[in-house]
Amino acid sequence: MRSQFVQIGIVGLVALSLIACSDDKRELLAPQAPSKLIIFNPPPRLQNPDDFLDIAAGDYHTCARKRNGNVYCWGVEGGPVDSVPKLMWQGATQIDAGSSHTCGLNSAGAAYCWGGGNQGQLGLGNGQYTTYNTPWPVAGPGWNGTPLVYTSIGAGGYSTCGTASTGVFCWGQLGNTLNPSVGVASPTLITNAGGTSYSGFTSLAVGVDHACGYINWAEVADCWGGDNFGQAGVDPTTAIFYPGTSIVMFTMPNQLGNAVARVSAGSDFTCADMTGGGVECFGYNLYGQLGNGNSGSGTNTFIPQTVSGSGQFHGVSAGVVHACALDQNGAAFCWGNGLSGQLGNGASVASSSTPLAVTGGHTYRAIAAGRLHTCAIGTDNHIYCWGQNNSRQLGTWIFDANGHVVTNGFSPNPVQAQDPK
């Protein structure tokens, strides 16, 4: 089919306005850009300020960021239930979610966090292990340090890490490399055995007890932290550990090589998009979350495993016991544990070691796997979620055929701005 060139000008703006007015759906989502404004094949979308760009899923909450910097969250993150999306922050350039908290950066590189802070993951300062239900600026290192300027941020579990000009700083459990069971409430510089840090990471992926840093120009991802299931991708027989611990030292190389496009750290496993196409995962595999056709605790490995049929997969997101990715057409696939419907294939699945297609026929731009739920940004700019909904982390109520509220959704449901109950 031939693409038709249409000049974007007053006509384009009128078309956008008309479609915006005609979108009578109740979802908290902007209308898609006019499909007739085609310039290239495939057509680029207009840079609509209401486009959703980022999505992050925690244990019982989900957050999404629009192009205009507005961040909306729903579910529970350390406070009361928000059954529909709530505007939490404005001016964000990045966001990420941990188990019960969310953090982000603004255009000045200042870090803000909110939600559960029981392990210091909000970075409010030494001794401040409290919960904040509104964004709060992250403190500087130590008691009275000046807040840092960050270029990237990552959140996972009860930890947060950010890249500053002087290195990688973590707060929460990963801020304490010698005893992660006791979190640190202010940013702490992470170093290797020689006391050396590294400031060249362009992005960070934080899991429950491990983290990875990605360098885009080198196309490599190095990890550190817990490796008891191989989730740091390091051979335990050759790993260098922090003294007196089983914690892999800062930025140990793995076997992904120098062909990594991006990385995602889950609970006890890690997945990465590869520059040549496809997804590779390593770590815990009891439920088949490595996606390689095998499952069971005996198949845990630090050696990267190619996800079955993933030659065109990208955008992988590693959750707690499952992972999801998109194919070249924007269709979503998930694998691992799906008892609560987080695989989105329309049924409860105890374990799938190969990717299952998500039902509903939607196509997506981005996807995020949480604890027992998944959410994704559709190419229509609507957000769809599936899986566990006991804390309204799906952003709507789920009803059965008799109109009764149920706690799990086994196929994608649109996030809604108004409570439909």
Q: In whole angstroms, give the CA distance from residue 292 to residue 23.
A: 41
Residue-wise pLDDT tens digits, 172-202 = 999 999 999 999 999 999 999 889 999 999 9
Instruction: List the structure tokens of 213.
Output: 């840093």
Q: What is the pLDDT of residue 128?
A: 86
CA distance linking residue 391 with residue 389, whole number of Å: 5
Q: At 59, which amino acid appears?
A: D
Predicted local confidence at residue 194, as pLDDT: 84
Residue segments in the chain with a per-residue pLDDT below the cut of 50: 1-27, 29-42
What is the model's pTM? 0.90
At 276, list the tokens.
Answer: 């040549």
Predicted pLDDT at 22: 34
Q: Which of 37, 41, 34 is nearest to 1 (CA)?
A: 41
Amino acid at 1: M
* Res 421: pLDDT: 64
Can you give the C-alpha Rg of the chain in angstroms? 21
Q: What is the pLDDT of residues 204-233, one digit of tens each?
A: 999 999 999 999 999 999 999 999 999 999
Q: Are 336 and 349 in contact (CB under 8 A)?
A: no
| Residue labelled with tokens 């198949």 | 299
Asked, as a colleague might, if the bond just before 147 is cis with ω within 30 of 0, I would say no
**What is 244-288 written as a DSSP string?**
TSSEEEEEE--TT-S-EEEEEE-SSEEEEEETTS-EEEEE--TTS
Q: What is the pLDDT of residues 100-135, one digit of tens each?
A: 999 999 999 999 999 999 999 999 997 889 999 999
Token look-up 């009275």 returns: 144
CB contact set of 50 (below 8 Å; sequence gap of 6+): 29, 30, 31, 66, 67, 68, 381
The reported pLDDT for the residue numbered 68 is 96
List the one residue out of 116, 211, 199, 102 whose CA is nearest residue 150.
199
